[in-house]
Amino acid sequence: MFSNLAEKLQSALGKLKGRGKLSEKDVEQALREVRLALLEADVNFRVVKDFLARVRERAVGQEVMQSLTPGQQVIKIVHEELTGLMGGSHARLGLTGRPPHVLMLVGLQGAGKTTSAAKLANALKRQGHRPLLVAADVYRPAAIRQLQVLGEQLGIPVFTLGERHDPVDIAQAGLSHAKTHGNDVVIIDTAGRLHIDDELMQEVERIAAAVEPKETLLVLDAMTGQEAVNVAERFNQQLELTGFILTKLDGDARGGAALSVRAVVGKPIKYVGMGEKVDALEPFHPERMASRILGMGDVLTLIEKAQAAMDAEAAEKLAAKLRSAEFTLEDFLEQLRQVRNMGPLDQVLGMIPGFSGAKQLQGLQVDEKQLKRIEAIIQSMTPEERSQPAIINGSRRRRIARGSGTSVQDVNRLLKQFEQTRVLFKQLGGGKGPRRRKGMLARLFGH
């Protein structure tokens, strides 16, 4: 899910990551690519425009230019804006007041209303509710039967009057049935309808007027294109939606609809359908989704921790040294200490973009002891050796190894890694390095 969008955004933003300083041009270039990635992901055109305008405004402003890690800062802004676009925090179902609570599912044909109704009933049953499913789709052949079969599978009662009744009557009768049978939640599955079909739109409005649902949820296919916002707006005008259920997110749909509908209609996505099985319905968490889209573990926390642990001025100096290739073992040690200040290393690594993929973290044995050993090796060097590693010959190596309680091989490895890192930074500083996938830490641990 979202994987393609995530890759594209990461590649667009990845170019900013290692940069010590960003020009307006750098940001523009990255944002152009972000624009393409979003459009290819079916994010609504207007939403993309406004989204980029907001990111641009913040990215070329003070917020970024004065930060220690401008690239990261831009990513942070994109992340915040993405989260905002999808609705901030998770929106729960509003099941307050006197039961029975009526939930009504509406949407286009084929969006997945009937399946979602069953999944939702199942989820609520697990939370201790006693749901009643009401089959009010009298148009599609065998739609009622479909809900009955699902109800049987789940052990959830399904109410219907058959295909020859008015859906408004069915809904009302379903509600009274729930009252007399002690069901505290009533989920009404309505027929699929086109948002421009006035007759059917009025019908669903009449159902709503008759049973006064606490939740009117628009079921929306994640594969929908630019049309998603039109559909959502039209349904919202007619019915005053309370939220969305986004279905079929388990495929490779890039889910731009998810980014668009909340922003346009102002109603949250509450659940997402993640598979064909009846338990494949998950609560929607915008901030987690934004992190997943950007392929971040939790970069926000990481940035906050970094800000807390690092002295801004020292970091500035370090960045300057990195670019000018004056980076010494002394600086290397200093950086290691700062990273360690941020917390247990495996946790910190998990928050670094690019490291968040579980595969990369697997087999990456983060050894605190190894860090200590590196510290010991560097501390066993003379200041001269630290600033000019080239002078470290065989006899100096043996002395350093003895002094730090390590072996000559350990010393060799560290020096080699340091040299590689330095070369890498030099290339990056010149703007013509290889694509920097793995940072210094990864190299340090041999990955």
DSSP H or E segment with residue 400: helix 394-404
Q: Is the Cβ–Cβ distance between 94 and 214 less than 8 Å?
A: yes
Site for another protein in 374-433 (CB under 8 A): none
Question: CB-wise, 149 or 320, nearer to another protein?
Answer: 149
Question: CB-wise, 92 or 398, nearer to another protein?
Answer: 92
The CA distance from 279 to 281, in Å, is: 6
* CB of 268 vs another protein, minimal distance in Å: 12
Site for another protein in 181-240 (CB under 8 A): 194-196, 221, 223-231, 233
Q: Is the Cβ–Cβ distance between 82 and 6 less than 8 Å?
A: no
Question: CB-wise, 163 or 334, nearer to another protein?
Answer: 163
Question: CB-wise, 33 or 334, nearer to another protein?
Answer: 33
Instruction: Give the residue from 220, 439, 245 showing the smallest Cα distance to 348.
Output: 439
Instruction: Give the residue from 345, 326, 347 showing the smallest Cα distance to 337.
Output: 345
Question: CB-wise, 41 or 239, nearer to another protein?
Answer: 41
Question: CB-wise, 78 or 302, nearer to another protein?
Answer: 78
Locate all alpha helices (DSSP H) within 240-344, ordered by sequence: 256-265, 286-294, 299-309, 312-324, 329-341
Encoded amino acid at 294, one letter: L
Among residues 21, 32, 49, 165, the one that binds another protein under rule CB under 8 A: 49
Instruction: Give the residue from 391, 413, 410 showing the smallest Cα distance to 401.
Output: 410
3-state secondary structure of 281: strand
The CA distance from 90 to 287, in Å, is: 8
Among residues 14, 30, 42, 353, the one that binds another protein under rule CB under 8 A: 42
The CA distance from 226 to 193, in Å, is: 18
Q: Crossing angle for the helix pair 394-404 and 408-430, nearest 10 degrees?
A: 110
Question: CB-wise, 110 or 344, nearer to another protein?
Answer: 110
Give the binding-site size for another protein (rule: CB under 8 A): 61
Q: What x/- string results for residues 256 through 295 when contact with another protein is judged by CB under 8 A?
A: xx-----xx-x---------x-------------------
Question: CB-wise, 132 or 392, nearer to another protein?
Answer: 132
* CB of 178 vs another protein, minimal distance in Å: 22
Question: CB-wise, 226 or 387, nearer to another protein?
Answer: 226
Torsion of CA 251, 252, 257, 263, to 10 degrees: 110
Among residues 7, 33, 95, 149, the one that binds another protein under rule CB under 8 A: 149
* CB of 299 vs another protein, minimal distance in Å: 16
Locate all alpha helices (DSSP H) within 18-101, ordered by sequence: 24-40, 45-59, 62-65, 70-86
Q: Is the Cβ–Cβ distance between 214 and 101 less than 8 Å?
A: yes
* CB of 356 vs another protein, minimal distance in Å: 22
**Is 254 near another protein (CB under 8 A)?**
yes
Question: CB-wise, 182 or 251, nearer to another protein?
Answer: 251
Q: Please return the burial class of 365, using the count of CB atoms within 10 Å of its CB with bins 0-12, 13-18 and 19+.
A: exposed
Site for another protein in 128-147 (CB under 8 A): 139-143, 145-147
* CB of 95 vs another protein, minimal distance in Å: 24
Rg (CA), the chain: 28
* CB of 263 vs another protein, minimal distance in Å: 6
Site for another protein in 73-112 (CB under 8 A): 80-81, 83-85, 88, 108-112
Tallying the residues shown for the chain, one arrives at 447
Encoded amino acid at 57, one letter: E
- Give contact residues for another protein (rule: CB under 8 A): 36, 39-42, 44-47, 49-50, 54, 80-81, 83-85, 88, 108-112, 139-143, 145-150, 153, 194-196, 221, 223-231, 233, 248, 250-254, 256-257, 263-264, 266, 276
